[in-house]
Amino acid sequence: MRWFRFAALILVITILQTALINSMPINPNLLVILMVFFAIFSDSKDAIITSFSIGLAADLIGPGMGTLTLSFGLTGSLLAYLNRTIAIKKMTHQAVTIFIVTIAIAFIAHFLIMIKSQITAENIYTSVIAPAVYSGIIGPFVFLPVAWWMKIKHHSFSGH
Amino acid sequence: MTGNEIYRANISEVGRMTARRFNVSGKMLFTWLLLGGLILLFSPESITDKLQLGFAGIFRWPLTAGRSIAPLTATNSEPLTNNVSRQEYDRLQNHLDNVIEQLYQERQKVESLSNLKKVKGIDNRFALEGASLVPAGIINSNMNNLTNELIINRGSDNGLEIGQFAMANNSIIGKISAVSEKIARVKLVTDPASSIPVLISLNSGKHIEAILKGTGSNKAKIDLVPAKNKVETANKIYAAKQPGVLDIPIKIGEIKQCRRLDENPLLWNITVKTACNFENIRDVAIIIMNPKP
């Protein structure tokens, strides 16, 4: 793993996400897409580290420190573990994975915020679905430039 | 063996030793990181706020630049009517509502003074006379169902303190929730953690006290208002006076919908529409009631 490239990528994506994409009508979660990418295409240890690191970056622009670090870390580590037995290579599988992971992260984060500050947000179901769909659709295409930047071999278009 | 080769051999040996020392299993790595996450989760907000404000402070330039690009990509541009933008119309309408409310408050004061002529030392300053408004630009906003906050480019160096009210378009939008030297965070009235005492101005001229709670995603509600009060749609909502923080009620919004609570029909369930569209604001003003000289 090229950690300097990884750090630069996360920094740029975090700023892009908070400054630009969150205020757009179509707002995919690029940090979740990145987390899924590294969980699929890295070895287990790197996947765990990247999941928690991306979660920490999401926390810096999120509702409160710790919630997204844990939800990204738990989900990314589980995905990396599952990826050892179920290979997620096809684009459609990747899109579905991103969709499910986005929803899972939102629910875990919501649960942790409830524990931490006794706050319950309304209409969580509706507000989670749209970004999950956008992330699922855009995600597999974002994998290509990320794989190029990280110099990771990526065969999603081959269908194998 | 040359000196250069010895140096390289030493370096590679140190690298191998470091790798051996930090060669932890995946499970152990996961446990340590999970523990770190839990520590972060239950750390006091005074510490974690500094991390978030520090990040916003370091990257304020790209964040502000991104916000200025964002309106070009957004689709919720508001139509112009009668050559006055909706935003300008709302701003003036809020000002008018605030003046009407101030008039009402002054009338109340005149009535109480007429009954207390003999009492000396009554504060007869005009509303906001001694207050100072600190203008601030928005570095970043965080609007979703879990949090509704703004990061602004003014901090304790400019006299800002936790608890002070923030205004935009002549209406209250939230309170300062965290502050560093040069940056502060405004928790908007629609944030799920926000809870602000308000006054509901009824059509009869009567004012009733209530608590405005944010529900996320640009919405707020008022509970526990007895149904005997004749609350109606479009009744104005004002932030209630708070000594030392806000000397006069200022408009927050108006009632969008009111219906009886399903669990208890003796209470109203009120949905509030804020007077200011938070997604369109570019600048805010912080009210400092008694600024230090």
Q: pLDDT tens-digit profile of A110-160?
A: 888 888 876 666 666 667 888 899 999 999 999 999 999 888 876 654 444
Identify the residue whose tokens are 């020392």.
B21
User: Cβ–Cβ of B76/A25 closer than 8 Å?
Assistant: yes
| Cβ-Cβ contacts under 8 Å for B58 (sequence gap 6 or more) | none
**What band does B121 get if pLDDT is binned at 50, 70 and 90?**
very low
- CA-nearest residue to A125 within chain B is B145
Helices A91-117/A30-41 angle, 10° precision = 120
Mean pLDDT taken over chain B: 79
B65 forms beta bridges with none
Least Cα separation, residue B76 to chain A (angstroms): 8
Cβ atoms within 10 Å, residue B232: 11
Tell me the count of A-B CB pairs closer than 8 A.
Answer: 133
The answer to whether the CB atoms of A18 and B66 lie below 8 A apart is: yes
pLDDT in tens, B186-214: 999 998 888 899 998 888 878 888 899 88
Q: Which positions in chain B touch A73 (Cβ < 8 Å)?
A: 30, 33-34, 37
Q: How many CA atoms lie within 13 Å of B17's alpha carbon, on the beta-carbon side?
A: 6
Q: What's the pTM? A: 0.76
Chain A residues 75-134 with CB within 8 Å of chain B: 77, 109-110, 112-113, 116-117, 119-124, 127-128
Which token pair is B236? 């104005």
Nearest-Cα residue of chain A relative to residue B280: A23
Q: Which amino acid is at A85?
A: T
CB-based burial label for A47 (10 Å; 0-12, 13-18, 19+): buried
Distance, CA of B114 to CA of B92 (rounded, Å): 33
Percent of the residues in chain A that have a pLDDT greater than 90, as a whole number: 51
What is the structure's pLDDT at A121?
A: 64
Residues B215, B188 contacting (CB under 8 angstroms)? no
Q: Which of B194, B228, B229, B189 minimizes the C-alpha distance to B208?
A: B229
Average pLDDT over every residue of A52-70: 90
Distance CA A127, CA A130 (A): 6
Report the 10 Å Cβ neighbour count for A19.
23
Closest residue in chain A to residue B62, using alpha carbons only: A15
What is the DSSP code (8-state) at residue B231? -
| DSSP H stretches of helix in B74-208 | 86-115
Q: What's residue A160's pLDDT?
A: 42
Q: Is the ipTM of this complex over 0.90?
A: no
The pLDDT of residue B6 is above 60: yes
Give the closest residue to B47 by CA, choosing from B242, B187, B180, B218. B180
d(CA B262, CA B269): 9
What distance in Å separates residue B193's CA from the closest CA in chain A? 6
Whether residue A159 lies within 8 A of chain B, CB to CB, comes out as no
CB-nearest to A48 from B30, B64, B141 is B30
Cβ separation of B217 and A122 shorter than 8 Å? yes
Quote the minimal CA–CA distance from B60 to chain A in Å.
10
- Write down the pLDDT at residue B17: 57
Q: With contacts defined as CB-CB under 8 Å, which chain A residues touch B38?
A: 66, 70
Min Cα distance A94 → chain B (Å) is 24
Q: Do B146 and A113 touch (CB under 8 A)?
A: yes
| Interchain CB distance below 8 Å, A116 and B41 | yes
Alpha carbons within 13 angstroms on the beta-carbon side of residue B105 total 19
Helices (H), A25-123: 30-41, 44-60, 67-83, 91-117
pLDDT confidence tier of residue B73, bands split at 50, 70 and 90: low
Q: What is the pLDDT of residue A30?
A: 93
CB-nearest to B192 from A19, A56, A119 is: A119
* Phi, psi for B26 (deg, rounded to 5): -60, -40
Tally Cβ neighbours within 10 Å of residue B88. 12
φ, ψ dihedrals at A2, nearest 5°: -95, 100
